[in-house]
Structure 1
């Protein structure tokens, strides 16, 4: 197993009797195959060659990996096929990232869902294939394990609304962080967000927030959503993110960090993981928002949604570079603002530690180890 994270953001908060799990997740794990280096969108009737390719666990694995790399004890309940893709995803998450897969299941004869993602012009186009896991293996556990927090996907097609696990988990003291997917039915029915009454925070993107609230702007949408949930966070794409905490009256907004994007797959999941980490650690709203934006910005510079997620050493490396650049630039306003915005990292980040060797997306998945000849000597 890879070396463990060098920082536990909840170290000062842990006490006897706390749940073993920091964050509980459930959802679908995909095998993601990502093509990058495309000059333009594929055109019908033509063949398009990509300059880069990577494969990694995807779907709910994006968020699970991001949380684990930030030092949170993460438990995932998901179905895994018994094919080579399922083997790869299971081993990557359990052995490579230290994610607890105790409530997850291997299903004989069920093939792993697959998504092919093509990244170009800072965006992505995806094609997915898969079948719903057969019952009872595909069902969410009736009683999720005790956890500090859980992430729930809302919306009219959400599997997380099967049963009443969100309400049960919230009633037991678990803080629910909710996100939502695109409503391809076009209804955008606010009733699909009824479970927000059980949630601590809701993190949609700008388009989703405006469509559900019928608001004219993302910021107005955030204010309306804050009437339904204690903390409403709306991601604004290239503009950054904004948030409203109705329990304190606090608001915050941060601009996006300007980085070169290789692959935006999973950036939204990494953003949620960063915000959730800061929330459990008790940071102020502006710091949580800035940290989430930083995690997402670092993730888009690598292949793959899950294995692009940054660890603490990478975050510390970015902070040292930011301070050095601000010093060389003579303290221009933009650099000074960044140093102030991310100054909370100074006393948080590790120093003098050797890098944690994070796994990255691999070019191909599907090769099993060659069998040893019958007369090969034993080890």
Structure 2
């Protein structure tokens, strides 16, 4: 395999998926479907998505010596991901219990398991894989000190998906190019920094919502990242890039492709994986986000996480249908 252009450092989970009619209220018991086990975890998802896009990708993480670990290894390998630095440790592979409602939305509970073993010591041993990679991708399902080590010492471009939401040191935010968050994660970071979270939908219709999202993206830039991608689900994404010459920002809205969502599990990860591959290929941020939104659009029309991610050819068919 050629030298990886994208290295994903992060989590690998077995997704335990069940369909439910509605989210249970406190104290309520409901009946769900039979559990379906599929490969997942934010880090592994992003690596698989990048691999399916034709990228040269490596994954750094930990799984257990169990059936779930074997499932993840097989899924990553089938996407062409380099697994040289995927370790098997004395802990169960991480799991995520995912409840999917009829509208395709999900609620997720993660049990980290082996992901807790992605420690700074382990990452030091794997330094040769991530330290000089052109693009390094991080999320927050591994120990924060490990994220900080890689974010601050990687020589390449750092794509930081700040999910699940957690407080981040200033020097981690400063390394992000871009910081990728959804609306709830953006609100958390802004509130943690003592700023305005801009919750809820503003008045003024679609244009008002876009203006509000643009202001939120600019507020996130004020936390220190070099660029920001704020994902908006079916409304697309907002891209904000700091301008060094005048201290301002370039902000653009990238629309989403309209599709009928079946399952949103892993859609954000497919977005991040595709984004990383495009950036490694030299695309500008807005162009890379354009591809990423189309990848996520295909993913939400299918069940599961990694099993839903499209190839570049499949995205091309979506473009042809849309007349692009």
Q: Which residue of 2 aligns with 1:150?
A: 136
Query: Counterparts of 1:1-379 in structure 2 under 5 Å?
Result: 20-36=3-19, 38-42=20-24, 44-49=28-33, 53=36, 55-94=38-77, 96-108=78-90, 110-120=91-101, 121-132=103-114, 139-142=121-124, 143-145=127-129, 146-153=132-139, 158-161=144-147, 164-170=149-155, 174-183=156-165, 189=167, 192-213=169-190, 214-215=195-196, 216=198, 217-227=212-222, 228-247=224-243, 249-323=249-323, 339=324
Q: Quick one: distance in 1 between partners of 2:87 and 2:221?
A: 37
SS of the aligned residue for 1:141 comes to helix
After TM superposition, give the deviation of residue 156 of structure 1 in Å.
11
Q: Quick one: distance in 1 between partners of 2:115 and 2:135?
A: 25
After TM superposition, give the deviation of residue 140 of structure 1 in Å.
3.7
Cα pair distance change 1:58/1:132, threshold 3 Å: closer
Cα pair distance change 1:312/1:141, threshold 3 Å: same
Q: Could you report, residue by residue, the CA deviation over 1:334-368 in whole angstroms, capped at 9, with x for unpaired residues?
A: xxxxx4xxxxxxxxxxxxxxxxxxxxxxxxxxxxx
Q: Quick one: distance in 1 between partners of 2:37 and 2:113?
A: 23
Q: Quick one: distance in 2 between partners of 1:276 and 1:307?
A: 19
Cα pair distance change 1:209/1:47, threshold 3 Å: closer
Contact 2:38-2:305 within 8 A present in 1 as well: no
SS of the aligned residue for 1:21 comes to coil
Q: Quick one: distance in 1 between partners of 2:118 and 2:235?
A: 43
Q: Quick one: distance in 2 between partners of 1:297 and 1:319?
A: 11
Q: Quick one: distance in 2 between partners of 1:285 and 1:114?
A: 32
Which structure has the larger Rg over C-alpha atoms? 1
SS of the aligned residue for 1:147 comes to coil
Cα pair distance change 1:88/1:285, threshold 3 Å: closer
Q: Across the two proteins, how many residue pairs are aligned to each other? A: 294
Cα pair distance change 1:156/1:23, threshold 3 Å: closer
Cα pair distance change 1:284/1:181, threshold 3 Å: closer
SS of the aligned residue for 2:97 comes to strand
- Residue segments in structure 2 that go unaligned for 5+ positions in a row: 199-211
Contact 1:27-1:160 within 8 A present in 2 as well: no
RMSD: 2.8
Q: Quick one: distance in 2 between partners of 1:153 and 1:46?
A: 32
- Residue segments in structure 1 that go unaligned for 5+ positions in a row: 5-18, 324-338, 340-379
Q: Quick one: distance in 1 between partners of 2:266 and 2:228?
A: 20
Contact 1:22-1:147 within 8 A present in 2 as well: yes
Q: Quick one: distance in 2 between partners of 1:308 and 1:73?
A: 20
Q: Which has the higher helix share?
A: 2
Contact 1:252-1:285 within 8 A present in 2 as well: no
Q: Could you report, residue by residue, the CA deviation over 1:137-165 in whole angstroms, capped at 9, with x for unpaired residues?
A: 88442124231110123599625336x23
After TM superposition, give the deviation of residue 176 of structure 1 in Å.
0.6
Contact 1:132-1:138 within 8 A present in 2 as well: no
Contact 1:105-1:137 within 8 A present in 2 as well: no
